[in-house]
Amino acid sequence: MKLSASILSADYLNLGRDIDRAYEAGCGLLHLDVMDGHFVPNIAVGVCVVEALRNEKRMRKDAHLMISNPETMIRPFAEAGADSIIIHAESTPHHIRLLRDIKKEGKLAGIALTPETPVETIRCALEEADIVLQVSVCVGFGGQGIIAHVYDKLRTLKEYKSRFGFKYEIQVDGGINGQTYKKALESGAETLVAGSFLFGAPDMETIAREMFAAGF
């Protein structure tokens, strides 16, 4: 199991401190939610934020592009220092081409699904994906409850990976807390993306330790 800290829920006035907290708690990844106010009803994390984190080498930096026209922003985020770039299936019909474009920039290539989008929508692109991110809440805001049918989608992603020999990492993002993370892992998630559950905890290390202990 891997644990990814979503900085959407961090204290931006003390972002460096919170990133240190996440690393010390055992997080191996930073999740950077990029929002344009169009694809999702919120604005967050531009290129300048990723650029400011360029020298953070302890944790992999995943740029999750919740934006329209993602093809225009692959290179800027790659050049800013993102280690992986995740596009949304709903934002473009050109899944395979964009995943290949990300790889041409020397980055891990990921594709994300909203809760409403069937896994079958991206079946033809799964062979190209290094990461499949299943969003488990309504996109755009942190602190929401998980949408239950996402567990079935995680099981489908796990089944496809096993049956067809795909190599992608299965991530789940949204609604991860003390009541949901075990079921997410049981359903097939390999990386848990957590924001408010981690950054809102008085003792992030204790929370992370419990999550790792359940990581099978």
Q: Which helix (H) or strand (E) holds 48?
A: helix 47-52
Catalytic residue among 33, 62, 101, 130: 33
Q: Estimate to the nearest angstrom the gap between the alpha carbon of 193 and the chain centroid.
A: 6
Classify 128 in phi/psi space as left (phi over 0), alpha (psi -120 to 50) or beta.
alpha
- Tell me if residue 33 is catalytic: yes
- Tell me if residue 20 is catalytic: no
List all residues 6 or more positions away from 171 whose beta carbon is below 8 Å from its beta carbon: 4, 62, 110, 131, 132, 133, 134, 189, 190, 191, 192, 193
Which residues face 34 on adjacent strands? 65
Q: b vs e for 37-69, b when ≥16 Cβ sit within 10 Å of the residue's Cβ? A: eebbeeebbbbebbeebeebeebbbbbbbbbbe
Whether residue 147 contacts residue 137, with contact meaning beta carbons closer than 8 Å, is answered with yes
CA 51/CA 46 separation, integer angstroms: 9
Catalytic residue among 83, 101, 130, 173: 173
Q: Pairing relation of β-strands 29-36 and 43-44?
A: antiparallel
Residue 127: other Cβ atoms inside 10 A: 13
Positions marked active-site: 33, 173
